[in-house]
Every structure is written in C-alpha cells, then in structure tokens.
Structure 1
Amino acid sequence: MASLLGEHLFQISGQGPPPAKDFFQLLITRNEVIWNSWKISVRLDSRGAAPKELKTSHQEFLHQKMLKQQVGAVFGQRILEYTISLCQGKFDYLERLPDDILLQILNYLELKDTTLVAQVSQRFRKLCNSEKFWEETVRRRCAEFTSDMEGIANAMGWRKLFFTFFLTSGTKEQQ
C-alpha cells in the first residue's frame, strides 16, 4: 500500500479570508508541511514583496499552534483536521486508488450502496455519476442490453438509458 503514496500527499491553495486578499498554498509531502503565502496589496510598500515559505516536519507541525490556526483560518476546520491526520500517518489509501480500480470495486456494490458511496467525497460522487460507471452498470447488470442499444446509450447517456429502459421497465437489476 505504501507504493500508492506519491511524494505529494495533499495540496490546496486559495485566497485567505477577508479583508486581506493574500494567497496561500498548503502542500503536504511525505516528510514535511510546506506553507506558502503571497501578500496581495495595492499599497506601494507591499508591491514586489517576495512570497514567504515555511517548511516544517510533520511532528513539528503538530506542535505549531500558530501555523495550525492559520491553516484553519484560511482553509477551514475540515482541511486542518485532514492535515493533522496526514501528519499523524493516517493515510486515505482508498482515495489514492486509480479511477479504473475504484470503478471495478463500485461495480461489486448494489446500486443503493453506490448512492451512499457517492456522498463520501467529490471524487466518489464524480465516479458514481460518470458515464463509465453507468456504462459498466448497464453492461454487467442488465441482461436485456443488446449491442443495438449501444448507439442509443451513447446518444442519450448510459445513466439515462438505465433509468429509462431497465429500471422503469420492471426489470430487477441482477445482484
């Protein structure tokens, strides 16, 4: 599983909270937390200010109250908690699997369960709503599907085809 971890574990960037217009980036690598900030101001004394970069180990980050407060203020509590989890060695291996493997796993679930998985994260929502997922669903679970229907599916969308022809026609999905 360790091979699923790239050098960069997490990265996010965005503008800080008002009234400042400063820009921030948080990068978590296997060994350190990197906090970059850019001062954005129309004031003459701030023009041309170099970006600031703070690098700290995971263990040091866990003890730096001010840096944790900054991360929370800029990116929110959820991102701060996720950053702390990564620094504690709690990795989300499932999120790191390639889409093709996740789609294969999703095809083993009942459709009602995929609606729950879609609520886990934006990535899972995107996968569960993808044309690739619905194409696999139709091909694997709908015995009445014929190759002639493929043109219809490509024109109207695989998900719409499933709900129009297979779910509403009284045909139960094959579990």
Structure 2
Amino acid sequence: MASSEYLKSQIGVIFGQKTLSHVMNLCRGQYDFLERLPEPLILYILTFLDLEDVAQLSQVSHTFQKICNSNKLWEHIVERSCDRVTPEMRSLADDVGWKQFFFTNKLQLQLQLRRRRKRQEEQDNSFKREPVRRY
C-alpha cells in the first residue's frame, strides 16, 4: 500500500493534482463524459435546455459556468427568442454582452438603441466638415 501512495504522490508532483485526480476518478469508474466533449458540441446541446436548466448547469463546475455564461450561447438564445435580430441590436449586444442584452427589458432596449443612434448621428455630423472656400 505504501508504494501506491508513493506513486500517487509522484504523479501529483510531476503531472499536477488535476491529472492525479483525473486518473484516480478513472480508476474508480467516475468519468464526466459531458464535460470532456468539445465546447462547440456542448454549446449545441445546451441550446436545447430551458433557461432554468442552463442556470442550474452553470453551478455544476467552472467549465460549465464559463460555457453557460458565454456570449456564444446567449447569442443563440437571443436569436431563438427574437423574431429578428437587426445589425443595430447585434452591435448593442456585442457591446453589453448577449446575456445582459437578453435580460434587458424591451423598453430599456429601445431607449439604449435610441441613445446609440443619436450618438452615432452626432459622431457622423462631427466628421462632416464645411467645404474649404477659396478666394
């Protein structure tokens, strides 16, 4: 038994505790297949979940917390829930984050989009210069 403890400690020292934990779980038959899938496939699977399930899954591990809060997932959720995502809406969502964009109510979104249009118009007008007059 002492030699197995020694081997475990050496694996931990050489490869790190995460690898040791992974190997020990494999030996016990505990393997998280879902977490080992490629991220694009996990994202695809998550698009079929209800929002409550996404929220619960985000609490399972750091990996799922990152994926469940990712802009890629929330962009898909927004696209699924809206009839149409305009380029202006897409630009705002890219700025504030797709999850924040999703949970912002329609009145707030309309106000933010109006403010954004106004700022853009002001910037466009400031770039327009009066023609140089030559005498």
TM, length-normalised to structure 2: 0.61
RMSD value over aligned CA atoms? 3.1
Paired position in structure 2 for 1:142? 82
Paired position in structure 2 for 1:127? 67
SS in 2 for 1:64: helix
Paired position in structure 2 for 1:104? 44
TM, length-normalised to structure 1: 0.48
The structure richer in helix per residue is 2
CA drift of 1:151 comes to 1.8
Report percent identity of matched pairs. Answer: 39
Higher mean alpha-carbon deviation, 131-140 vs 78-87, is at 78-87
1:90-149 deviation digits (Å, cap 9, x = unpaired): 432211211111111111111111111111111111111111111011001233x43141
Paired position in structure 1 for 2:103? 163
Unaligned runs of 5+ in 1: 1-60, 170-175
Q: Distance in 2 between matches of 1:157 and 1:119?
A: 20
The structure richer in strand per residue is 1
Unaligned runs of 5+ in 2: 110-135
Q: Distance in 1 between matches of 2:19 and 2:79?
A: 38
